[in-house]
């Protein structure tokens, strides 16, 4: 999603101006796409930075549960935890994006490195899969620190002040979009759009079209298909790649027709 939006984002919204900026924007977006699941210490992403991220996840869980309890409607059920509540809403994505933009505008380089550290660390955690459940978090943390320091040069402050905020908000919204196709659904519009006495009703597909998170369809087809699409988009995003690919295809097609005519 980050690669697609990077190509159509207006310059005044922090559009990447080079291949390096585009990939950095996409990496931040992919890392931010894991942020909503930091509302429970039981999630694998909560292990990204070891005990620190797990403690943070417990705090987010408690705040999310409190927010749900205060805003729930008459028909909303009681909850013991805050997973898939506050952090899985449009409000959270928008406010987090605005908050990141404000931090970067106020603190500049230090804020940029901090945002990159967190989001790139989460992106690495997603790539490493279950490997970082134990001591792998140390490697994730150190790698994220090095990458964030190296990558901040690709985000001039005038670009990062809006671009990073857009990438973070987009990542959170993408996560919610993915959860919306699962059988559980997500309360994306909560708590501002009540429906039949419920403020935390879930947006989801009909049962016959929805998928089970972590199920065989997601793992066997959807995941590999999205990976192939991401690789293709990454190649397409390289400066000069579209022109070269189209030129090669055009030349190959011309050669084919010339050869076919000659054989006739």
Say yes or no: 199 and 230 in one domain.
no
Say yes or no: 34 and 93 in one domain.
yes
Say yes or no: 159 and 91 in one domain.
yes
pLDDT of residue 261: 44
Say yes or no: 118 and 137 in one domain.
yes
Say yes or no: 182 and 259 in one domain.
no
pLDDT of residue 256: 45
For residues 29, 31, 34, 35, the Cα torsion angle rounded to the nearest 10 degrees is -90
Say yes or no: 224 and 136 in one domain.
no
Q: Please count the other Cβ atoms lying within 10 Å of the Cβ belonging to residue 253.
A: 10
What would the two tokens of residue 176 be?
Answer: 């919610």
Domain boundary, last residue among 178, 193, 213: 213
If we measure between CA atoms, which residue out of 116, 123, 156, 115 comes closest to residue 15? 156
Residue at token pair 């054989």: 263
Say yes or no: 206 and 243 in one domain.
no
Q: Which residues of 129-164 are buried (b: 16+ CB within 10 A; e: fewer)?
A: eeebeeebbeebbeebeebbeebbebbeeebbbbbb
- Number of domains making up the chain: 2
Domain boundary, last residue among 194, 213, 232: 213
Say yes or no: 37 and 84 in one domain.
yes
Say yes or no: 133 and 243 in one domain.
no
- What tens-digit pLDDT sequence spans the chain (264 residues)? 556 666 667 666 666 677 777 777 888 888 899 999 999 998 878 888 888 999 999 999 999 999 999 999 999 999 999 999 999 999 999 999 999 999 988 888 888 889 989 998 888 887 766 555 556 788 888 888 888 888 777 666 666 778 889 999 999 999 998 888 888 889 999 999 999 889 999 998 777 665 565 555 455 545 555 555 555 555 545 566 556 566 665 666 545 444 544 455
If we measure between CA atoms, which residue out of 25, 67, 8 comes closest to residue 159? 25
Say yes or no: 179 and 68 in one domain.
yes
The residue segments making up the domain with residue 221 are 216-264
Say yes or no: 223 and 193 in one domain.
no
pLDDT of residue 205: 79
pTM for the predicted model, two decimal places: 0.79
- Give CA–CA dist 50/46, Å, rounded: 8
pLDDT of residue 245: 60
pLDDT of residue 64: 96
pLDDT of residue 257: 46
Residue at token pair 């922090």: 14
Domain boundary, last residue among 213, 235, 256: 213
Sign of the CA dihedral with 250 first, then 254, 259, and 261 last: positive
Say yes or no: 249 and 127 in one domain.
no
């Amino acid at each position: 999603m980050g690669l697609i939006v990077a190509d159509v984002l207006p310059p005044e919204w922090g559009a990447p101006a080079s291949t390096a900026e585009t990939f950095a924007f996409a990496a931040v977006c992919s890392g931010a796409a894991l942020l909503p699941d930091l509302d429970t210490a039981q999630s694998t992403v909560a292990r990204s930075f070891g005990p620190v991220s797990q403690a943070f996840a417990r705090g987010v869980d408690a705040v999310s549960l409190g927010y749900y309890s205060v805003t729930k409607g008459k028909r909303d059920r009681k909850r013991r935890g805050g997973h898939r509540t506050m952090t899985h809403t449009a409000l959270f994505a928008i406010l987090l994006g605005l908050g990141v933009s404000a931090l970067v505008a106020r603190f500049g380089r230090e804020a940029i490195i901090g945002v990159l550290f967190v989001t790139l660390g989460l992106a690495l955690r997603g790539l490493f899969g279950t490997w970082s459940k134990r001591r792998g978090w140390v490697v994730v943390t150190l790698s994220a620190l090095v990458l964030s320091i190296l990558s901040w040069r690709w985000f001039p402050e005038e670009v990062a002040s809006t671009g990073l905020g857009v990438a973070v908000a987009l990542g959170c919204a993408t996560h919610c979009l993915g959860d919306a196709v699962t059988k559980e659904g997500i309360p994306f519009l909560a708590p501002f759009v009540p429906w039949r006495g419920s403020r935390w009703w879930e947006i989801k597909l009909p049962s016959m079209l929805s998928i089970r998170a972590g199920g065989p369809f997601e793992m066997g087809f959807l995941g590999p298909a999205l990976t192939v699409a991401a690789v293709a988009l990454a190649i397409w995003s390289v400066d000069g790649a579209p022109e070269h690919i189209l030129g090669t295809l055009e030349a190959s097609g011309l050669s084919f027709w010339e050869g076919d005519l000659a054989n006739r």
